[in-house]
Amino acid sequence: GAGVSQSPSNKVTEKGKDVELRCDPISGHTALYWYRQSLGQGLEFLIYFQGNSAPDKSGLPSDRFSAERTGGSVSTLTIQRTQQEDSAVYLCASSPGLAGGPLNTGELFFGEGSRLTVL
């Protein structure tokens, strides 16, 4: 596709429910990043993938959060048993290669985000 695509754009759920957020990166981009942005705050690093592998999961807030990537393309971020503090915009970004690698200046191309509201 032309850009990074995220779905759903908006999701309202009840506390305790599970949610899945999807990210479809720019075709050919091997690196994929997930961030969380609460209202008026900066971007909180969650996880990144190189291909289907996630070398660094240190940013995932708790074991309720998990992410996977298949076929080196689409990624899914799953939040189980959602809590009100999970409410935020979840941003996905892709890049041609890992930041700092030979293919990449480090520029991240962001999707429009998935706004999650937990009631």
Partner 1 sequence: QKEVEQNSGPLSVPEGAIASLNCTYSDRGSQSFFWYRQYSGKSPELIMFIYSNGDKEDGRFTAQLNKASQYVSLLIRDSQPSDSATYLCAVLYSSASKIIFGSGTRLSIRP
Q: Which residue's CB is nearer to partner 1, number 80 or number 99?
A: 99
- What the block records as the tokens of 76 is 């899914």
- Binding map of partner 1 across residues 90-109, x = CB under 8 A, - = no contact: -x------xxxx---xxxx-
Cβ neighbour number for residue 15 with a 10 Å cutoff: 11
Question: Is there binding between residue 110 and partner 1 (CB under 8 A)?
Answer: yes
Q: Which residue's CB is nearer to partner 1, number 80 or number 87?
A: 87
* Whole-Å CA distances, 12 to 40, 48, 58: 19, 25, 26
Question: Is there binding between residue 52 and partner 1 (CB under 8 A)?
Answer: no
Question: Is there binding between residue 41 and partner 1 (CB under 8 A)?
Answer: yes
Nearest alpha carbon to residue 53 among 36, 37, 31: 31
